[in-house]
Structure 1
Amino acid sequence: MRVDIFALPVVEIELSRLSSVSSPRTSGEDPEHVETLLSAEGELPPILVHRPTMRVVDGLHRLKAARVRGDTTIVARFIDGAESDAFVLAVEANIRHGLPLSLADRKRAAVQIIGTHPQWSDRRVASATGISAGTVADLRKCGGDAGNEARIGRDGRIRPVDSSERRRHAADLIRSDPGLSLRQVAKQVGISPETVRDVRGRLERGESPTPDGSRRLRTKPLPLGRAEPDIGRAVDRERLVVLEQLKADPALRLSEVGRILLRMLSMHSMDGQEWERILHGVPPHLYGVVAGFARDHARVWAGFADHLENRATDLATG
């Protein structure tokens, strides 16, 4: 349920009609936060109320402050719809402003949302509760939920949980056009960019694109810096062209952070032959140590990419 709460009309409601039993905040009101609201100047923002049940969706502390002051009414906005959707809205409201929900409350809320919205993807539940998609997946497993055949993502699209065929399709696209971005492949195939990243990583390691495919596709890994031996040089050239375009972008070239980013990208944009030269120059007694550093840096870059792609999605979806 997507609601523009600021577009809803403001009404005055009698306090005696309101209930807060469905609040995601299991610890109840925080006395210090209530005191802060009591000492605030000006009128407090309207609370949010689920009209069918008259339960407070957002504004538990404002309600308490009004009662302490001896008020008999409070300004509010009404929302309609299912009670389970109202709970989701309550969680979203309480993690984005005011006194944030505790981690324990957010996890409990995620468990409840998994139960009422089993068709939602881990990322969509994570977005509503302010925890990671991995934590949601763990909570789903602990609850014995093997998942539906398909789930609804944050963008509203329905995606299959068992995506073996789509993984194979993604692998074919990556092989035929390695210059495609994660999001371009994901959009064509109907899986998440993270799944495409996993498929690409499996191909680079010579593995099957599906998790259950134990058969290795090659006896040795691909040359460093290349997606396929016969097209690696084209990929190198394309990457260098993009890098030159980035260097010419004033948004990066004229800022300190931008220049740091450009230096980091330049350092990691060597062609495959240069990577091979460095590989053969590592002393044998340091293979394990350097490999550990390389994997750690790869995880850092992957996390950096995830954050950027998530921000791009948020901007695109408004």
Structure 2
Amino acid sequence: MAIPGHAQIDQLMVVEVEISSLSTADSPRTSGADPEHVEALAAVQAPLPPITVHRSTMRIIDGLHRLRAAELRGHSKIAVRFFDGDEADAFVLAVESNITHGLPLTTADRKRAAGRIIASHPQWSDRMIASVTGIAPGTVAEIRGRTPGGPVAEVSRIGQDGRVRPVNGAEGRRRASELIAANPGLSLRQVARAASISPETVRDVRNRMLRGEDPLPQPRRKQANGERSVVPRSNFGPVAVPDRTSVQDRAAVVERLKADPALRFSDTGRTLLRLLTIHTISMEELDKLIEKVPPHCGGIVSHLASECAGTWAEFALRVQRKVAETA
């Protein structure tokens, strides 16, 4: 994960700065420097690493204990690397730096820092902020929930991978269903980018639409006996989709299609019939195929099978739409 500010530190340029010109204000370490840690650093014979300083304010981002150790040694100057970002990103960098090395921040300091980062970077996901502050994503979510406007202020958030995703997954699914209905030819990735959801979620939405289901997962409720039951939803889409058939029924349907002159006497039709015939194999036959897949090929075979399934789902949806338009 790239934390804002990392690229704005010139790692090659180290300068000597007067200690008296530096500020220790606005540190995430509310209790200040730990005297024992300062003494331990002062006793080290080797030169200490440069500290990180916010250029525009001269505030110390990372290296408070090294600064105090230099003072204890009687030094008037200290080696510095400068950070050129804004103050909000400087604070983020200070927090991230102080949980990855040196004397770690206390849990209380991390929680306070999380609250401040939620306010300054509300677009960041709970996991993103958790990775910076060193606390659990659930704890970040609790802190966000106590922040005025925190849970509802943003429509989407940036995750650790840099991708933007909706806070409300249901909204992304609705958007994806609208895009698929309007343009069935869009690829999974195209819809995913437009709806800010993952390609796999788009695949699930499309498959639900093919089955005539609502694109949103069906909510469940507990029954008196403790089991969970599905709350019925209305069918989605204008085209009726028949119930899933057995392998034998599918094979029989394909046999009837083979008798259709429109398919039998054209190259494209015969190609379609061959493909449909291949996909009438039973689960027992599938199990045999699965057993024969070499372990070292499993990943790529699984990926290709998933891609083929997506292609067929897209094919089915576009044929459905064509039928609906010509009906």
- Same fold at TM > 0.5: yes
Task: Please give the secondary structure, in 2, of the residue aligned with 1:7.
Answer: coil
Which sections of structure 2, spanning at least 5 residues, go unmatched?
178-188, 206-212, 222-228, 233-243, 248-281, 300-327
Cα separation, partners in 2 of 1:247 and 1:194, compared to 1, 3 Å? closer
Q: What is the CA–CA distance in structure 1 between the aligned matches of 2:170 and 2:103, rounded to whole Å? A: 43
Q: What is the CA–CA distance in structure 2 between the aligned matches of 1:127 and 1:247, rounded to whole Å? A: 34
Deviation track 1:28-81 (CA, whole Å, cap 9, x = no partner) reads 111121111111121000000001100000001001111111110000000112
Counterpart for residue 108 of structure 2: 104
- The AA in structure 1 aligned to 2:6 is V
Task: Give 1:194 shift.
Answer: 11
Deviation track 1:270-316 (CA, whole Å, cap 9, x = no partner) reads xxxxxxxxxxxxxxxxxxxxxxxxxxxxxxxxxxxxxxxxxxxxxxx
Determine which structure has more spread, i.e. the larger CA radius of gyration.
2
1:131 matched to 2:135 = yes
- Matches of residues 46-61 of structure 1 in structure 2 within 5 Å? 46-61=50-65
What do you get for the CA RMSD once the two structures are aligned? 4.4
1:154 matched to 2:160 = yes
Q: What is the CA–CA distance in structure 2 between the aligned matches of 1:118 and 1:90, rounded to whole Å? A: 18
Task: Please give the secondary structure, in 1, of the residue aligned with 2:6.
Answer: coil
Deviation track 1:169-224 (CA, whole Å, cap 9, x = no partner) reads 889xxxxxxxxxxx9x978963369989x99xxxxxxx9875894586589xxxxx
Higher relative contact order (CA 8 A, sep 6+): 2
Task: Give 1:131 shift.
Answer: 1.2
Cα separation, partners in 2 of 1:140 and 1:243, compared to 1, 3 Å? farther
Task: Give 1:167 shift.
Answer: 3.9
Percent identity between matched residues is 53
Task: Please give the secondary structure, in 2, of the residue aligned with 1:41.
Answer: coil
Q: What is the CA–CA distance in structure 2 between the aligned matches of 1:18 and 1:115, rounded to whole Å? A: 26
Cα separation, partners in 2 of 1:96 and 1:233, compared to 1, 3 Å? farther
Cα separation, partners in 2 of 1:235 and 1:151, compared to 1, 3 Å? farther
TM-score, reference length from structure 1? 0.58
Q: How many residues are paired up?
A: 228
Counterpart for residue 12 of structure 1: 16
Task: Answer yes or no: is the 8 Å Cα contact 2:98–2:104 preserved in 1.
Answer: yes
Deviation track 1:221-258 (CA, whole Å, cap 9, x = no partner) reads xxxxxxx9979949974995598415999xxxxxxxxx
- The AA in structure 2 aligned to 1:57 is I
Task: Answer yes or no: is the 8 Å Cα contact 2:220–2:230 preserved in 1.
Answer: no
- Matches of residues 40-119 of structure 1 in structure 2 within 5 Å? 40-119=44-123
1:3 matched to 2:6 = yes
Task: Please give the secondary structure, in 2, of the residue aligned with 1:70.
Answer: coil
Task: Answer yes or no: is the 8 Å Cα contact 1:208–1:217 preserved in 2.
Answer: no
Task: Answer yes or no: is the 8 Å Cα contact 2:38–2:68 preserved in 1.
Answer: yes
Q: What is the CA–CA distance in structure 2 between the aligned matches of 1:233 and 1:49, rounded to whole Å? A: 64
Counterpart for residue 172 of structure 2: 166
Counterpart for residue 34 of structure 1: 38
Q: What is the CA–CA distance in structure 2 between the aligned matches of 1:26 and 1:114, rounded to whole Å? A: 18
Q: What is the CA–CA distance in structure 2 between the aligned matches of 1:132 and 1:29, rounded to whole Å? A: 25
1:190 matched to 2:196 = yes
Deviation track 1:145-176 (CA, whole Å, cap 9, x = no partner) reads 123112222222222212214346889xxxxx
Cα separation, partners in 2 of 1:12 and 1:163, compared to 1, 3 Å? same
Task: Please give the secondary structure, in 1, of the residue aligned with 2:122.
Answer: coil
Task: Please give the secondary structure, in 1, of the residue aligned with 2:91.
Answer: helix
Task: Answer yes or no: is the 8 Å Cα contact 1:8–1:78 preserved in 2.
Answer: no
